[in-house]
Structures are given as structure tokens and as C-alpha cells.
Amino acid sequence: MKKRRNHDAGFKARVALEAVKGERTVSELAAEYGVHPTMIHQWKKALLDGAADIFERGGKKVPEVDEDTVRALHAKIGELAVANDFLSRKLKPWTGK
């Protein structure tokens, strides 16, 4: 069974730009770079969808943080920490630690 490959952002951008140029078909690019044509279509779509963000004024956008969401996430972290502590204490007799 083949292991999934993780391509870096530069590789994806290079392949997507070549696909946008349209000088070669997606099938040709897929054969050359050894990736599935569907991946090239996804990278091309992501490039075209995100291209407008490059020209936004004010630089990078900072996502707005909702205080209620932050509070809810902190509460969930607390619950998970308590559950994790409880389970680690209950499992000690079986792990021998």
C-alpha cells in the first residue's frame, strides 16, 4: 500500500500556476509531477479562490475572535483535562506506572 505524500506549498503553487497558464493539459502536468489530476484541479481552484486576498489593503487579515466561543472552548479544555486526569488515575493499576 502506498503512503500518502505531503507536498509543500511551493510545489503546489508551482503546479497550480502551470495549470492556470494552460500551456499544457492537466493530464500532462499530472504525469510530469507524479500527482493525480484531481489534486491539480483542487490546487488550481484554491489558487484562484485565494488570489484576491493577496491584493487586500492592510496586509494580512486577522480573524475576528468571538469571546463567547473562546469561553466555550476554554470550558471544553477544562472538561477534557479533568476527564484525562480521571482516566489516567483509573488506568494506573493496569499500566504498572
Tens digits of per-residue pLDDT, 19-77?
999 999 999 999 999 999 999 999 999 999 988 887 877 666 667 889 999 999 999 99
- H helix or E strand, kind and range, residue 57: none
The verdict on residue 60 lying in a domain is: no
Indicate the pTM of the whole model: 0.56
Do residue 25 and residue 44 come from a single domain?
yes
Between residues 24 and 4, which one has the greater pLDDT? Answer: 24
Do residue 70 and residue 36 come from a single domain?
no
The verdict on residue 46 lying in a domain is: yes
What are the distances in angstroms from CA 84 to CA 43, 48, 87, 92, 93? Answer: 39, 43, 5, 12, 16
pLDDT at res. 79 = 97
pLDDT at res. 65 = 85
pLDDT at res. 1 = 62
The verdict on residue 30 lying in a domain is: yes
- Decide if 29 contacts 18 (C-beta within 8 A): yes
Domain extent, residue 16, equals 1-55
* Count of structural domains, the chain: 2
The verdict on residue 94 lying in a domain is: yes
Do residue 9 and residue 33 come from a single domain?
yes
- Nearest of 50, 24, 49 to residue 37 by alpha carbon: 24
Amino acid symbol at 93: P
